[in-house]
Amino acid sequence: MLRDKNLIPLSRQHQHALALCVRIDRATRSGKVDAEAWQAEIQQIVEQEIAIHFAAEEKELFPRAAQHSSLQALVEELRIEHAELRDLFAQAGARSLGLHELQSFAEKLAQHIRKEERQLFEQMQQLMPPQELAVLGAALEEALKDATQACAIPKRL
């Protein structure tokens, strides 16, 4: 199903985060990992985009989705994953992630994003009338206005 235009800003940010996950995965598989550089990049992306993205989802997206009883359990799972990911972001900020933890971080973030895209967004598009999606889109646009929407390149790999 094509993504509704009102959810596209979140999907674009998901693409940025997935690109980070792919790059981390490739680096860890190659054995050429500068854990410090990757953690600095994670911290930068969290500060510039992901923190704002999570806040927008938690303030605007999740409450609207949870109004539909069939999405309540999924929304709760996603909220729990946000908390787990925030813990990993904090560990990256403290530069305490090793090679295996970086790989695990990339896997968890990618799985979370795919769950939002393939399950939450798809079901919301089926359940919500266009007017409801438009109201959500306007709220998301306002909530996301401070995100840089830029994926930083690490200084060294």
Are 121 and 12 within 8 A, CB to CB? Answer: no
Contacts of 77 (CB under 8 A, 6+ apart): 115
Domains in the chain (CATH in brackets) are: 8-143 (1.20.120.520)
**Chain segment 130-153, per-residue pLDDT in tens:** 999 999 999 999 999 987 544 444
- Its pTM stands at 0.90
Q: What is the pLDDT of residue 157?
A: 42
Q: Which token pair is 56?
A: 């927008």
Mean pLDDT, residues 12-32 taken together: 93
* Residue 88: count of CB within 10 angstroms of its CB: 19
- The dihedral built from the CA positions of residue 100, 44, 58 and 112, taken in this order, carries a sign that is negative
Find, among 126, 92, 121, the residue nearest to 109 by Cα. Answer: 92
pLDDT band at 13 (very low <50, low <70, confident <90, very high): very high
Helix-strand-coil split of the chain, %, nearest 5: 80, 0, 20
- The dihedral built from the CA positions of residue 36, 19, 134 and 141, taken in this order, carries a sign that is positive
- Percent residues over pLDDT 70 in the chain: 94
pLDDT band at 25 (very low <50, low <70, confident <90, very high): very high
Mean pLDDT, residues 113-119 taken together: 98
Q: How far apart are the first and last CA of the chain?
A: 36
Are 146 and 52 within 8 A, CB to CB? Answer: yes
Mean pLDDT, residues 117-127 taken together: 98
